[in-house]
Homo-oligomer: A and B are copies of this chain.
Amino acid sequence: MTSAGHSPLARKLSAFVTLSEAELAVLERLHQRRRTFVAGRDLVHQGQSAQAAYILSVGWVCSYKLQTDGARQIVDFQVPGDFLGLRSVLLRTSDHSFEPVVDIEAAEVLESDLLDAFAHTPRLATAILWAASRDEAMVVEHLVGIGRRDAQARMAHFLLELGSRLALVGIGSKEGFDCPLTQYHLADTLGLSAVHVNRILRQLRESGLVTFRDGHVTFHDHRGLVSLADFDPAYLDQTGPLLK
């Protein structure tokens, strides 16, 4: 069956498991508490407990941790089809904050609904474990980026990852994608200063690899960028369902 017409989360999970009509229905029911949130106001605070999880359907969200000295480390961004705070529900206390980068639409998922869905549709639980594994693999790549990649490779890897993730939910391609992030987002993600981010983006543009301008990332030479970043997308596991 096709996943067209379904939620971004259903499209994403279809890369791992071919969902039955019944499983798709459970997934759609998890979307019933639709809400909108405005840009810039935290959805969940670091240290908060007893909060719900959300399934993002429209817009971008930034997840980050603040240090006591005020320094911000961005852990990742969430795009349509991603869970927000799934880990926090399971771990009971949110270990990080979520802030919408733009106005967003997200469905609130109560802990009880989630545990209920897991109990009655185990294939869906496995698919969500797959999605969580993929999220973890991305954080691992960000750790390796900050720990071991030079600034150009780090930026290139991050933009390629975003392009692949967005392609999976139909809003990106090897040509590029719309991107609402600022240089400050990129700086706090990649452990660079905003000035350094600008310099790196100029170098990548002048090398004819990629341009990030006016809210759009354009890949001029996708293959060249993959080579620069040593980008192996296997960790995103987007090649088709394991569970039929």
Contacts and interface: CB of A to CB of B under 8 A. Distances in A.
Interface of A: 16, 47, 65, 67-68, 71-73, 75, 86-87, 90-93, 95-96, 115, 118-120, 122-123, 125-126, 128-130, 132-137, 139-144, 146-149, 191, 230, 232, 234-235, 237, 239, 242-243
Given A143-B73, A143-B146, A123 B130 contact: no
A153 B142 CA distance: 20
A242 B123 CA distance: 22
A237 B89 CA distance: 11
B147 A73 contact: yes
B143 A90 contact: no
B119 A122 contact: yes
Given A146-B146, A149-B67, A130 B91 contact: yes
Contacts of A96: 140
B67 A230 contact: yes
B47 A92 contact: no
The listed residue with most B CB atoms (<10 A of its CB), out of A93, A118, A129, A141, is A129
20 contacts: A47-B234, A65-B140, A67-B144, A67-B148, A71-B148, A73-B143, A73-B148, A75-B144, A90-B242, A91-B137, A92-B237, A92-B239, A95-B137, A95-B140, A115-B126, A115-B243, A128-B129, A139-B143, A143-B146, A146-B191
Nearest to A72: B148
A67 B67 CA distance: 29
Given A91-B237, A143-B73, A235-B91, A129 B125 contact: yes
A132 B132 contact: yes
A56 B91 CA distance: 22
B147 A235 contact: no
Contact of A118 (B86, B95, B120, B125): B125
Nearest to A236: B91
